[in-house]
A and B are shown apart, each in its own frame.
Chain A
Amino acid sequence: MSQVVVDVVLKPEISDPQGQAVLGALGRLGHTGVRSVRQGKHFVLEVDGEPDEAELRQIAETLLANPVIEDVELHLPARTTD
């Protein structure tokens, strides 16, 4: 079994009011050095055997993310050499 991580983030051109609300709260807490916050989703998938990158990309792009508004970052486990 291996673990695959999929991060889903809003496309840069899509405004993120939740991220902006977090940024506003940071400012009120005195963290004035933070310039921008973008909120996203983080999925951890446990899959049987070696992960199939093509299938995982399909999963990420057809269900986990909506390609109209979101981009995906697929993080496959580092391949072990033995």
Chain B
Amino acid sequence: MRIGVITFPGSLDDVDAARAVRLAGAEPVSLWHGDHDLKDVDAVVLPGGFSYGDYLRAGAIAARSPLMQDVVAAAHGGLPVLGICNGFQVLCEAGLLPGALTRNSHLHFRNRDQGLLVERADTAWTTSFQPGQRIVVPVKNGEGRYVAADADLDRLEGEGRVVVRYVSTTPGSGVDANPNGSSRDIAGVTSADGRVVGLMPHPEHAVEDLTGPSTDGLGFFTSVLSALVVAA
């Protein structure tokens, strides 16, 4: 299985994403934003970072890069795509996922271990989890507040498109479970076909006990391998 990891100017977590892909048992393939070449990969990961310095809006310029035109076309054909943090912002800006990510309500950059509730365990990127499972992965963002019109949020919830929701990492501590003011505690959403997933937290930073708060993040990368095996 070959999983592409796109590097944009200003990507930071492409190396960690490639490492997570390798630990999950797949072959990471470096993709460059300026090419029109998906290199026949079986799935694509858009990593975190600050593509184009977050100029205009986070993810806005990257969403109009040459390779993203190929990603959008391939995603419409069913290619599994995972957007993490800045990658989620790019997917929303590219129109592959609904909603938008805006400045955190408290205006602070938030970097901490974050509890998540997995609500959808049947997308291409979440079959390794159980529905209702609680996991912990790092979150680190300044513009991670998920917003959409109320009617759109109702529709997303009605269609079961919320993949992960923020929950308290330390229940009873009084610390707000929601790190950035996201509408309805939404941390990640999926496309109608469940093949494209975007989330603000960073599963690629929770793949080894030595460096992460858990190894829960690995499940996103092993999930897509199962999805690809089933498809093949």
Contact = CB atoms under 8 A, between A and B. Distances in A.
Q: A and B: partners?
A: yes
Interface of A: 13-15, 17-18, 21, 63-64, 66, 68-69
A34 B227 CA distance: 55
Contacts of B92: 68
Which 7 A-B pairs rank lowest in CB-CB distance, beginning with the nearest? A68-B100, A69-B100, A17-B107, A17-B105, A66-B100, A17-B103, A66-B57
Contact of A69 (B64, B105, B106, B147): B147
Contacts of A66: 57, 60, 93, 100
A64 B64 CA distance: 12
Secondary structure type dominating chain B contacts: loop
Interface size class of B (residues with CB under 8 A): 20 to 34
A21 B107 contact: yes
B213 interface: no
A64 B150 CA distance: 23
Interface in B88-103: 92-93, 98-100, 102-103
A64 B92 CA distance: 15
B52 to A, nearest CB: 12
Contact of B64 (A14, A18, A63, A68): A63
Nearest to B107: A17
Contact of A68 (B56, B104, B148, B150): B148
Contacts of B147: 14, 68-69
Contacts of A14: 102, 147
B149 interface: yes
B106 to A, nearest CB: 7
A15 B56 contact: no
A17 B98 CA distance: 22
Contact of A13 (B60, B93, B149, B181): B149
A18 B106 CA distance: 9
